[in-house]
């Protein structure tokens, strides 16, 4: 602040505290709901302090599942984890390799290749869902991890991010490596990869969250309940005729679904912010 | 931009670029071109044969009153979410930018909803405002409003706007905070010396200097509401009651999956593609302007 105004300081705190409370309240309520039995929630007078059913709810949800779905949430979490990791690792792998080729090599159609990849930036998966579904079905990838992962890594963000970063690396490094007799593989492994570690980690954080939170695509291509991701699973728990919704299981699942990505954001905040700011450029 | 030094040879770079190319062609170009092709075809009731019908699918889509209703819903939904999520985020960011103790902790406490899946955000809010058991629905009903988002389209839309805004404030907050921190302190001090109070300084100095960030966030938020809120809508309302919260993207899904009208669904997809490309083009023009700025 330019001038010292205690009142303005106080208002700043007040606004921020109200903001934090409003932001946290829905999640607080979900955590509370995961500690009560079904009857307490349904009668509409759920207390705002924790109940005593937490252990029961979490163990039942994780290892048994709801009465309707009968699918342990543990399995769904494993599916989500495989999908999120697959998307993050897969995207980093293909995009760092193609960015390396585009930036550090001269080959025919290099510009064309770059544009072919670049255009994919413009179209999110939501607008081409049915044709993509058909192709995945023709390839026999329905209900497989490959089918969940591959269509979602077909986009340009990673390649652009690495290209942008490689462009900031001084040419002298490559010249020096060449003089020292390093080939393309050596230069990549010993010089480029160590320099790219922060960029890789930032992209990983963003892609992990993106993958974990996917909804429409897994909803379309998973038919077996054993292949469900947790975000799809919770939606199914709620739509079965309203009166039968087991809210304590649903809310326990919601809490479990939030834990991994939220932990990633909180503990890797610096990388998360970096990734978010740079992939949007 | 070009690198001065290069490796020679072209087999290695081709090998490096093949994985990305293959995935892009198979899962992007093929489906995108099929969507365009399919939008000119009509399938019979059993999906066995299809004939070329020209622009008929587009005409019939554009003749549907439901399509315009979805368009209006989308416009209302995105303007409300853009307005609320951006103004709340700007308010919070301008407070967090003040030199107060614990500013960093507030940042952490405000950005994590970004990590919550849209569908989960929807579930959290429907639980809070559920007509019979929602903790916050009870006080609303107590003052005599017959709150029921399952039956009342306006209530359903309010709930959608609240959950979509809740999830997106964190993103806008982060970018506004970065934008505010990039404004040189000397400019603000100069304003203070000239006798401008905090509110005057905000509207005449800070807000105009933030305009590139604001514009960028506007485009990103609109794209977010168009596409990523699919999960929220599907979890909270399923497009209902009576189609009153069906947006353009939700309609593509509902017509193709539930209605089986693949040609019409493809035509809608193509229209959406055009909208997205226009939005992206606007954003890129803006990025160029920012470089000169």
CATH of the domain at B271: 1.10.3720.10
The number of C-beta contacts closer than 8 angstroms across A and B is 294
Share of residues in chain A with pLDDT > 70 (%): 92
Q: Supply the pLDDT for residue B292.
A: 35
* B20 lies in some domain: no
Given A44, A110, A120, which is nearest B28 (Cβ)? Answer: A120
Q: Supply the pLDDT for residue A280.
A: 63
* B86 lies in some domain: yes
Q: Supply the pLDDT for residue B176.
A: 94
Confidence of residue B125 (pLDDT cuts 50, 70, 90): very high
What residues have CB less than 8 Å from A218, skipping those under 6 apart? A83, A148, A228, A229, A231, A232
Q: Supply the pLDDT for residue B293.
A: 36
Q: Supply the pLDDT for residue B158.
A: 93
* B10 lies in some domain: no
- CATH code of the domain made up of A58-279: 1.10.3720.10
Within 13 Å of residue A97, how many CA atoms lie on the same side as its CB?
15
Confidence of residue B291 (pLDDT cuts 50, 70, 90): very low
The residue-averaged pLDDT of A103-108 equals 86
Question: Is the predicted pLDDT of residue A262 greater than 50, yes or no?
Answer: yes
Q: What does the block give as tokens for B35?
A: 């969507």
CA B59 to chain centre: 27
| Cβ atoms A101, A192 nearer than 8 A | no
Looking at the structure of chain B, the number of domains it has is: 1
Rounded mean pLDDT of chain B? 85
Question: Is the predicted pLDDT of residue B5 greater than 80, yes or no?
Answer: no
Share of residues in chain B with pLDDT > 70 (%): 94
Residues of B in contact with A213 (CB under 8 A): 115-120, 231
Question: Is the predicted pLDDT of residue A206 greater than 80, yes or no?
Answer: yes
* B212 lies in some domain: yes
Confidence of residue B265 (pLDDT cuts 50, 70, 90): confident
Supply the range of the domain harboring residue B161: 63-292
Q: Supply the pLDDT for residue A243.
A: 62
Cβ-defined contact of A215 to B230 (cutoff 8 Å): yes
The residue-averaged pLDDT of A236-259 equals 81
Residue of A nearest to B174 (CA): A273
Q: Supply the pLDDT for residue A122.
A: 66
Q: Supply the pLDDT for residue B35.
A: 83
Residues of B in contact with A124 (CB under 8 A): 223, 227, 276
Domain ranges of chain A: 58-279
Reported in sequence order, the residue ranges of B37-103 that DSSP labels E, i.e. its strands, are 41-43, 50-52
Question: Is the predicted pLDDT of residue A109 greater than 60, yes or no?
Answer: yes
Q: Supply the pLDDT for residue A240.
A: 53
Residues of B in contact with A216 (CB under 8 A): 230-231, 234, 253
Over residues B11-70, the pLDDT tens digits come to 888 899 999 999 999 988 888 888 888 888 877 666 666 778 778 888 888 888 888 999
Q: In angstroms, what separates the C-alpha of A234 from chain B's closest C-alpha?
A: 8
Query: Quick check: helix, strand or coil at residue A29?
Result: helix
Confidence of residue B121 (pLDDT cuts 50, 70, 90): very high
Question: Is the predicted pLDDT of residue B186 greater than 80, yes or no?
Answer: yes
* Model pTM score: 0.89
Residues of A in contact with B238 (CB under 8 A): 239
Using CB atoms within 10 Å of the CB of residue B132, give its burial: 0 to 12 exposed, 13 to 18 middle, 19+ buried: middle
Q: Supply the pLDDT for residue A239.
A: 67
Confidence of residue A82 (pLDDT cuts 50, 70, 90): very high
Task: Give the C-alpha distances (Å, rounded to integers) separating B279 from A84, B34, B202, B273.
Answer: 28, 23, 29, 10
């Amino acid at each position: 602040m330019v001038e010292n105004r205690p009142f303005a300081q106080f208002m700043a705190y007040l606004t921020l505290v109200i903001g934090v409370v409003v932001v946290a309240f829905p999640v607080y309520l979900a955590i509370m709901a995961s500690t009560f039995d079904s009857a307490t929630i349904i009668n509409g007078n759920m207390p705002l302090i924790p109940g005593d059913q937490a252990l029961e709810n979490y163990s039942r949800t994780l290892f048994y599942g709801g009465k309707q779905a009968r699918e342990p949430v543990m399995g769904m979490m494993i599916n989500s984890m495989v999908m999120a990791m697959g998307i993050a690792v897969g995207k980093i792998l293909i995009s760092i390799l193609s960015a390396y080729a585009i930036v550090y090599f001269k080959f025919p159609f290099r510009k064309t290749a770059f544009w072919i990849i670049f255009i994919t930036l413009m179209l999110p998966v939501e607008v081409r869902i049915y044709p993509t579904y058909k192709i995945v079905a023709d390839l026999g990838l329905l209900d497989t991890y490959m089918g969940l992962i591959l269509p979602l890594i077909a986009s340009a963000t990673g390649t652009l991010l690495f290209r942008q970063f490689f462009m900031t690396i001084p040419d002298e490094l490559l010249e020096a490596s060449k003089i020292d007799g390093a080939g393309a593989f050596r230069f990549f492994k010993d010089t480029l990869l160590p320099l790219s570690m922060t960029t890789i980690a930032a992209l990983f954080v963003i892609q992990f969250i993106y993958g974990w939170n996917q909804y429409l695509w897994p909803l379309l291509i998973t038919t077996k309940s054993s292949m469900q991701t947790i975000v799809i699973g919770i939606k199914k728990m709620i739509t079965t005729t309203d009166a039968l919704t087991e809210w304590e299981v649903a809310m326990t699942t919601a809490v479990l679904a939030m834990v991994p990505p939220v932990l990633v954001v909180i503990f890797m905040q610096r990388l998360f912010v970096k990734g978010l700011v740079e992939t949007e450029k | 931009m070009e690198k001065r030094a290069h490796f020679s040879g072209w087999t290695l770079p081709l090998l490096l670029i093949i994985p990305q190319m293959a995935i892009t062609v198979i899962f992007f170009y093929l489906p995108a071109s099929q969507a365009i092709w399919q939008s000119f075809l009509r399938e019979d009731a059993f999906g066995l044969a299809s004939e070329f019908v020209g622009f008929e699918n587009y005409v019939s889509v554009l003749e549907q009153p439901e399509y315009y209703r979805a368009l209006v819903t989308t416009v209302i939904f995105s303007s409300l979410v853009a307005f609320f999520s951006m103004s709340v985020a700007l308010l919070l960011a301008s407070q967090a930018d003040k030199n107060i103790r614990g500013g960093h902790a507030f940042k952490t406490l405000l950005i994590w909803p970004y990590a919550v899946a849209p569908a989960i955000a929807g579930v959290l809010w429907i639980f809070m405002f559920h007509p019979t058991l929602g903790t916050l629905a009870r006080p609303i009903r107590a003052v005599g409003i017959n709150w029921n988002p399952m039956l009342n389209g306006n209530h359903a839309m309010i709930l959608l706007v609240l959950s979509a805004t809740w999830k997106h404030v964190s993103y806008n907050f982060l970018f506004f905070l970065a934008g505010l921190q990039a404004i040189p302190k000397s400019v603000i001090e100069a304003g203070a010396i000239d006798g401008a109070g905090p509110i005057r300084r905000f509207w005449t100095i800070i807000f105009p200097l933030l305009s590139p960030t604001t514009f960028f966030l506007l485009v990103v938020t609109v794209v977010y509401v168009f596409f990523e809120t699919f999960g929220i809508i599907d979890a909270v309302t399923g497009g209902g009651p009576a189609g009153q919260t069906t947006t353009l993207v939700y309609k593509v899904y509902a017509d193709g999956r539930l209605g089986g009208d693949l040609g019409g669904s493809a035509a809608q997809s193509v229209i959406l593609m055009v909208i997205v490309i226009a939005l992206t083009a606007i954003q890129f023009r803006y990025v160029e302007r920012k470089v000169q700025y």
